[in-house]
Amino acid sequence: MAIRRILRIDDAEDRKILKMQCRPVKLPDRNLKQLVADMFETMHAANGVGLAAPQVGIPIQLCIIEIPAEYEERPDGSLVEVAPAEPYVLINPRIVKMSGEEVMRDEGCLSLPGWYGMVPRQTWVTVEFQDLSGKHHRLRRADGLLGWAIQHEVDHLNGILFTERIRDLSTLRDITKEREPQPAEAQG
Q: What is the pLDDT of residues 20-77, one digit of tens each?
A: 999 999 999 989 999 999 999 999 999 999 999 999 999 999 999 999 999 999 999 9
pLDDT higher than 60, residue 182? no
Give the containing element (helix H, strand E) for 150.
helix 144-157
pLDDT digits (tens, 9 = 90+) for 106-162: 999 999 999 999 999 999 999 999 999 999 999 999 999 999 999 999 999 999 999
Q: From residue 60, how far is each of 24, 36, 90 by CA, in Å?
A: 6, 12, 11
pLDDT higher than 50, residue 169? yes
The model's pTM is 0.90
What value does the mean pLDDT take over residues 69-86? 94
Quick one: which of 134, 18, 4, 149 has its CA closest to 87? 149
Q: What confidence score (pLDDT) does residue 186 get?
A: 41
Q: What confidence score (pLDDT) does residue 177 get?
A: 84
pLDDT higher than 50, residue 187? no
Q: What confidence score (pLDDT) does residue 184 get?
A: 46
73 flagged as catalytic: no
Fold observed for domain 12-178: Peptide Deformylase (3.90.45)
Q: What confidence score (pLDDT) does residue 4 get?
A: 98
Three-state DSSP class for residue 86: strand
Catalytic residue among 72, 73, 107, 153: 153
Domains of the chain: which residue ranges? 12-178
